[in-house]
Every structure is written in C-alpha cells, then in structure tokens.
Amino acid sequence: MEGEFMAYKPKSFETLLGIPGLSDQLLKNHFTLYQGYLNNTNRLIEILNAMVKEGKTGIPEYAELKRRFGWEWNGMRLHEYYFGNMVKEASEFNKNSKLFKKLVEDFGSYENWEKEFRAIGAMRGIGWVILYYDRFTGRLINQWINEHDAGHLSGAAPILIMDVFEHAYMIDYGLKRADYIEAFFKAIDWKVAADRFDEASAK
C-alpha cells in the first residue's frame, strides 16, 4: 500500500546483561534510550509520509523533521551496531582473520590501530567512534561521529562501533571515560567485527 511501511522493531540485547565492566542498570537504561530512537524513527516516518500525502513538503516543519530523521535513525542503527559488537564472554581476536591482517596492513600494527581508536574515543564531546571499511579503496579508517548524524563516511561499512555519549558510561564510571573504554575493549565481540569485515570486503 502506498505510504505504508514496515515499522522498525527493536532488537533485544538482554544477553549482554551481566557483562563485566558495565552494570545492568547502565545497560537497561541504554536499551531504553535505543528503543526511544527506534520509536521516534517510526513516528517520523509516519508523520513525514502523511505530510507528503497532504502536500505539506514546502514548509519549515517538513524540512526540520526531515533533517531530524537522520539523527533519530542513526541513533537507532548505531546502537544496534554497538550492542551487536559486544559480548559477555571475552572474545579472542583471531590473528588469522582478514580483519586483523588488514588492521596491521593499514595502521602498521594492531597496537597503532587500537591507540588511535581509543584516542578518538577520548575526544571531548558526545558521539561515536567507528572503524570503517571504505569499499571504494579497501581502506580501514577510524572516524569520529558527532552526535549520531554528523561525520559518516559515505559508502564505507561500519566494522566496529563504540558509543561515547555520557549515558554509555557515566552511571558506572563518572568522568573516567578511559576506564569505560577499557571495559568496552574487554567486551568487544571480535568475531562479529571480523564477520562484518568479511562481508563488506567480499568481492
């Protein structure tokens, strides 16, 4: 049907509860925030579709809601990537994986890559750190995303995502963001990241 859409449905990340370094209280709050982005994304689609049907696209209300869509949608999707690349049981990064080898190739060493990824996460401000794979050149790039919607690299695939909004750590760590980043690194699901890379880099 014209104008109908399949509403986005929230994914469950309850299996992360009990993860070392992040309290259940923090995670549950974070899941609620994620669902808020998802609900608002669905709501915005409905409102924008209705405005198009009614011919109300030439007004500031339409323009502002359309601009906001990228913020809500990315707030939803980035959390899905982020929770999706964490795991309760510590995971080993397979040194024979294509991703590990490419990190060494592009950054000189795994350690160089990790150092930059952590440093970007420590930058002042709220946002995200994304390890991207540029499908056009085959290059891995660590990127800062401001808020949810500014700084994305077009055509590049997200491989590993870390949330550095204050809600991601303040309940547990206060201002000690580096300690949260440490906990995040212990919780990375390297299998997921390696699989994302394999998929993105497949010819």
**Residue 10 identity (one-letter amino acid):** P
Q: Which residue in 100, 113, 120, 163 binds Fe ion (CB under 5 A)?
A: 163
The reply on whether position 72 binds Fe ion by CB under 5 A is: no
Q: Which residue in 128, 133, 165, 180 binds Fe ion (CB under 5 A)?
A: 165
The reply on whether position 149 binds Fe ion by CB under 5 A is: no
Which residue's CB comes closest to Fe ion?
163
99-107 contacts: CB < 8 A, separation 24 or more? Answer: 99/159, 99/190, 99/193, 99/194, 99/197, 99/198, 100/194, 102/140, 102/197, 102/201, 103/140, 106/139, 106/140, 107/140
**Residue 182 identity (one-letter amino acid):** E
| Shortest distance in whole angstroms from residue 162 CB to Fe ion | 10
What does the alpha-carbon distance between residue 11 and residue 39 come to, in Å, rounded to a whole number? 12
What does the alpha-carbon distance between residue 146 and residue 18 come to, in Å, rounded to a whole number? 29
From the list 15-23, 63-71, 154-162, 164-172, the region that binds Fe ion by CB under 5 A is 164-172
| Shortest distance in whole angstroms from residue 79 CB to Fe ion | 6
From the list 50-58, 118-126, 153-161, 166-174, the region that binds Fe ion by CB under 5 A is 166-174
Binding site for Fe ion (CB under 5 A): 163, 165, 168
